[in-house]
Structure 1
Amino acid sequence: MAKEYGRNARVSSEMQKELSFILQREISDSRLGFITINDVEVTKDLAVAKVFFTVMNADDVTKKHNTKVLNELAPIIRHELAKRMRLRHISELRFYYDDSFDKGMRVAQLLSSIHKDSSSHQD
C-alpha cells in the first residue's frame, strides 16, 4: 500500500515553494509578468516536473508568451533550483499555464448572472 503523503508529494511541495521564490527573486526577465506557481506534479521517478502557473491580468497571447519564455528559461531555473534543493537529480521542468482559475471566474460570473436573473423575475 502506498504512503498517503509520499516522497513525490514532499518533493512537489518543496519544489513549488522554491520555484515561487526563484521566479520572484532570482529571475528578472522583463518578458515575464507576475507569475504564481499553482501546482507542481512530479513523475514517480522524479525525472520530469510539470509546473502549473498563472499570470495576473493576462490575455491569451500573454499566457502563451509567458509559457514559451518560461520553457526557454527552464534550464536556468532548474540550475537555481538545484542550488536550493537537496536532491541528487533535479527534475526536468516543463511549464504549463493553469486555466483552472480562469474557468472558476467564468463559472462565478455565470452563477452571478443566473442569480441576478432569478431575483429580477421574483420582483
Structure 2
Amino acid sequence: MSTKAIGDRGEAIAADHLEEQGYTIMDSNYRFERNEVDLVCFDPHARKGRGEIVFVEVKTRSSLNFGAPDEAVDEDKRSRIVGVAKAYLYERQLEGSPARFDVVGVLLNQGDEPDVTHYTDAFKA
C-alpha cells in the first residue's frame, strides 16, 4: 500500500470514528497556501452543548517502526495547522467561533481492526 493510500484510508477511518462520536464533518483536506488540515468538524457536545469547530490532524501508520502515529505532530506541524485554521475561519466568516485542535492516530494492524486513538484538544498547553 502506498503512503498516500495509507493516509487516505486513515482519514476515512478517522472520519467514521468522529461521526460515530456525533461529530459532523464540515470539510476534508482543506488547503491554504502549501499546508492543509485533514478534517474540519463540528462537535455539538462541546461547550455545554453549544458546540465548537474542530480542526483534526489525522496520522496513520501501518506499524510502530517509526513511532506512534500522533508522535508525528510536532511544533512545526502544529504551527502550520493553526495557520490553516485561521485562514479557514476567515474565509468562512467564522472568526471568533469556538474552535480547538484534535489529533486522531490510526494504526493499521494487518488482519485486525485498526486502532484509533483520539486526542481531544491536543494543542492545548
TM bin (shorter chain)? 0.3 to 0.5
**Given the two structures, how large is their TM-score scaled by the length of structure 2?**
0.43
**Given the two structures, how large is their TM-score scaled by the length of structure 1?**
0.44
Give the number of the structure whose residues are more often strand, by fraction. 2
Give the number of the structure whose residues are more often helix, by fraction. 1
